[in-house]
Amino acid sequence: MHQQSASYATEKCSIISGYLFASCHQYLSPDLYQQQCKTDTCKCGETCMCSAVAHYARQCRSYGIFIDFRFNVAECGK
């Protein structure tokens, strides 16, 4: 894993365990999702990062928690 990729992945995927998704954490632990996000992001960059964060957001929706992360993550805005 390239160090720059790892740093980018760690920074960007931290949104999963951050304040934006805090209302979901009591229902769905962010740990595995954040780790998978970092792994995927190191492989293919922001496309995979956005997909991984979107996956966690979808899982949160299954608990009735709706989080519009795309507004807060510029890379995933569209």
Distance of alpha carbon 54 from alpha carbon 13, whole angstroms: 11
Q: Determine what percent of the chain is predicted with pLDDT higher than 70.
A: 95
Task: Give counts: helices (H), strands (E), the chain.
Answer: 4, 0
- On whether the CB atoms of residues 38 and 6 are closer than 8 A, the answer is yes
Q: Give the residue among 69, 19, 15 at the shortest CA–CA distance from 37.
A: 15
Name the band, by pLDDT with cuts 50, 70 and 90, for residue 2. Answer: low
Distance of alpha carbon 53 from alpha carbon 14, whole angstroms: 10
pLDDT at 1 over 60: no
- On whether the CB atoms of residues 50 and 15 are closer than 8 A, the answer is no
